Structure 1
Amino acid sequence: MSADERPSAEETLLAACRALAPTVLDRTFELSLIPAPPLGETDRAERVRSWWEADGLTVESQSVGNLWARIREGDRSAPAVVVAAHLDTVFARDVPHGLRRAADGTVTGPGCGDDTVAVAALAALDRLLPAVTATPVWILATVGEEGLGNLAGARAAFDHPPAAVGAFIALEGNYLGRVNTVGVGSERRRVRIATPGGHAWEDATAPSAVHIAVDLIHAIDAVQVSHPAKTSRNVGLISGGESINSRARSATFDLDLRSESAAALDGLTAQVDAILAAASPGVTISVETLGSRPAGGIDSDHPLVAAAARALTEAGISPRLTAASTDANVAYHRQVPAVTLGITYGDGTHTEQEWIDPDAICYGLYALTRTIDQWPPSSRQS
Structure 2
Amino acid sequence: MKNISLLIILLGFSLETKAQDEKKVSVQEVYKNQIEAIGKDKKVQKSFDIIQSLEPQTMKDLVELTEIPAPPFMEQKRGERFMQMVKAAGADSIWKDEVGNVLALRKGKSRSRTVVLEAHLDTVFPLETDVKVKKHGDTLYAPGIGDDTRGLAMVLAVMKAMNTAQINTASDVLFAGVVGEEGLGDLRGVKHLFKNGNRKIDAYIAIDGGDLGRINNMALGSLRYKVTFKGPGGHSWGAFGVANPHHAIGKSIDYFDTVAGAYVANGPKTTYNVGRIGGGTSVNSIPFESWMEIDMRSVSPEKLLGIERILKEQMQKALEDYNKTVKKGDKLTLVLDKIGERPSGELGENLPLILKAIAATSYFNAQPTLTRGSTDSNIPISLGIPAVTIGRGGKSDNAHALDEWYLNDETGPLAIKLALLILVAEAGLAN
TM-score after normalising by structure 2 = 0.78
**Deviation per residue, 1:56-79 (Å, 9 max, x gap):** 2220220110111122414212x2
Find 2:125's aligned residue among 84, 87, 91. Answer: 91
Note the 1:234-245 alignment, pairs <5 A.
234-241=273-280
1:368 match: 419
Distance 1:161 1:119 in 2: 26
Find 2:254's aligned residue among 218, 226, 236. Answer: 218
1:124 match: 157
Find 1:55's aligned residue among 86, 89, 92. Answer: 89
Evaluate the alpha carbon distance shift between residue 11 and residue 84 of structure 1 in structure 2; reply closer, same or farther with a 3 A threshold. Answer: closer
1:69 match: 104
The alignment-based identity, stated in percent, is: 31
Distance 2:415 2:281 in 1: 52
**Deviation per residue, 1:92-123 (Å, 9 max, x gap):** 121112223222x2222111111111112213
Note the 1:275-314 alignment, pairs <5 A.
275-278=314-317, 279-280=319-320, 281=323, 282-314=331-363
Deviates more, 1:290-299 or 1:155-164: 155-164
CA contact (8 A) 2:343 2:378 kept: yes
CA contact (8 A) 1:186 1:293 kept: yes
What secondary structure sits across from 1:229 in the alignment? coil
Note the 1:123-202 alignment, pairs <5 A.
123-129=156-162, 131-159=167-195, 163-172=199-208, 174-196=210-232
CA contact (8 A) 2:221 2:298 kept: yes
Please report how far the alpha carbon of residue 88 of structure 1 lies from its aligned counterpart in structure 2 after TM superposition.
Answer: 0.8
Evaluate the alpha carbon distance shift between residue 322 and residue 51 of structure 1 in structure 2; reply closer, same or farther with a 3 A threshold. Answer: same
Evaluate the alpha carbon distance shift between residue 259 and residue 174 of structure 1 in structure 2; reply closer, same or farther with a 3 A threshold. Answer: same
CA contact (8 A) 1:197 1:248 kept: yes
The answer for unaligned runs of 5 or more in structure 1 is 1-6
**Deviation per residue, 1:323-380 (Å, 9 max, x gap):** 221111111232211110122231110112212222332111111111122226xx69
Amino acid at match of 2:86: W
1:4 match: none
Amino acid at match of 2:305: D
Evaluate the alpha carbon distance shift between residue 248 and residue 301 of structure 1 in structure 2; reply closer, same or farther with a 3 A threshold. Answer: same
Amino acid at match of 1:166: D
Evaluate the alpha carbon distance shift between residue 97 and residue 246 of structure 1 in structure 2; reply closer, same or farther with a 3 A threshold. Answer: closer
CA contact (8 A) 1:193 1:213 kept: yes
Evaluate the alpha carbon distance shift between residue 93 and residue 27 of structure 1 in structure 2; reply closer, same or farther with a 3 A threshold. Answer: same
CA contact (8 A) 1:174 1:356 kept: no
Distance 1:164 1:303 in 2: 19
CA contact (8 A) 2:51 2:158 kept: no
| Length, aligned pairs only | 370
Please report how far the alpha carbon of residue 320 of structure 1 lies from its aligned counterpart in structure 2 after TM superposition.
Answer: 2.0
Deviates more, 1:146-155 or 1:259-268: 259-268
Distance 2:393 2:52 in 1: 13
Evaluate the alpha carbon distance shift between residue 21 and residue 229 of structure 1 in structure 2; reply closer, same or farther with a 3 A threshold. Answer: farther
Evaluate the alpha carbon distance shift between residue 38 and residue 161 of structure 1 in structure 2; reply closer, same or farther with a 3 A threshold. Answer: farther
Report 1 or 2 for greater relative contact order, CA contacts < 8 Å, sequence distance ≥ 6: 2
Residues 1:29 and 2:83 aligned together: no
The answer for unaligned runs of 5 or more in structure 2 is 1-38, 324-330
Distance 1:181 1:228 in 2: 21
Please report how far the alpha carbon of residue 244 of structure 1 lies from its aligned counterpart in structure 2 after TM superposition.
Answer: 5.5
CA contact (8 A) 2:123 2:148 kept: yes
Evaluate the alpha carbon distance shift between residue 375 and residue 195 of structure 1 in structure 2; reply closer, same or farther with a 3 A threshold. Answer: same
Note the 1:250-329 alignment, pairs <5 A.
250-278=289-317, 279-280=319-320, 281=323, 282-329=331-378
Amino acid at match of 1:60: W
**Deviation per residue, 1:310-330 (Å, 9 max, x gap):** 212211221222222111111
TM-score after normalising by structure 1 = 0.88
What secondary structure sits across from 1:317 in the alignment? coil
What secondary structure sits across from 2:64 in the alignment? helix
What secondary structure sits across from 1:291 in the alignment? strand
Distance 2:206 2:128 in 1: 28
Distance 1:156 1:33 in 2: 26
